[in-house]
Amino acid sequence: MELDNLSSNWKKLQATLKNDTSRPPKRKASEDALPPQRNVVKRVKIEPIVPSKRIKKTQNSREKSTGSVPSNFKPSAPSASLALWAEDNDIPARDLAAAYGNSSSKLSLPDLEREDKINEGLSATTGAGKYIAIDCEMVGVGPYDQSALARVSAVNYHGHQLYDSFVQTKEPVTHYRTFVSGITPQLLQGARTFERVQADIAQLLDGKILVGHAVKNDMDALLLGHPKRDIRDTSKHPAYRRIAGGRTPGLKRLAKQVLGVDIQGGEHSSIEDARATMLLFRREKAGFDQEHQKRWGATITKPGSSVADKQRARVRKRKRKAEE
């Protein structure tokens, strides 16, 4: 009987507890530990962003504190002498001496940020030095769209403009090739005569090292010659031909792969192309010198003895007669 009474009392107690609403039911511990769902979403979105911003600020502050130079930083144009500029730009003194000789200490460095003077002719302020790079632009003439000289540019060892001129064609222009050459009818209105430009370039190159890319095409257009031993052609340099698999490399390709420079994106600039050619020569100058030594040795040609020298002398003679 006692067991039956205990069982009935226990059932009554359970019924009483079940009907008691004075206290809310206790929630599970796992539910109390979890935050509302919207907080979870915010944390997922914010947490990955905050560290990246801190890292970026830390990197910028580190650059400022350590004085590191950003990759796109360009120094302002120096005003020191040519020799000091060469030293600042890691140009070996022997190369400077070879380019300018004993006069290097007396030459002031032209403003590197000056604008190109289009159709200026011979520069009255820039020293030529020993190495001169040239480039030409052509237009089409005649019924068969033959190439004719329309612009000539020349720069010195440091890429400073020595010469720039548009050229009058002997025949009517049938195709200006503006999309490539940059030549327009308006530009040729102020062009110099072919004879004048030919004489200027012959005088400029007299006794100099001529640097060019497929430079024979340019010299043929000018109807000029130059001693082969005094030519440095970047299109024939072995190191650059290897880039093109043994074939003749394009100037645009070499500028991009060797110098990291984009040229000829649209209308060509003969000044910029001449600069790119000179930079390619300077980049491989030791290789050019080695190849030249193999082919020509250390012998020195007497000035005025080559066919090109005699040709330039005839051009100068004709120029003097024309001026008279």
Q: What is the pLDDT of residues 149-173, one digit of tens each?
A: 999 999 999 889 999 999 999 999 9
Q: With the C-alpha atoms ordered 248, 179, 193, 115, is the resulting torsion angle positive or negative?
A: negative
Tell me the C-alpha distance between 163 and 61, whole Å.
Answer: 46
Do the Cβ atoms of 184 and 151 come closer than 8 Å? no
* pLDDT given for residue 252 in this prediction: 85
pTM of the model: 0.61
Pair 149, 180: CB distance under 8 Å: no
**DSSP state string for 204-236:** HHTTSEEEESSHHHHHHHHT----GGGEEETTT
- State percent of the chain over pLDDT 70: 57
Each residue of 82-119: pLDDT tens digit? Answer: 433 454 466 665 565 566 654 544 443 444 445 789 99
Lowest model confidence (mean pLDDT) among 28-37, 191-200, 231-240: 28-37
Mean pLDDT of the chain: 74
Q: Is 132 exposed, middle or buried (0-12, 13-18, 19+ CB in 10 A)?
A: buried
How much is the pLDDT for 180?
85
Helices 307-323 and 194-205 meet at what angle, rounded to 10?
A: 130
Query: pLDDT higher for 73 or 252?
Result: 252
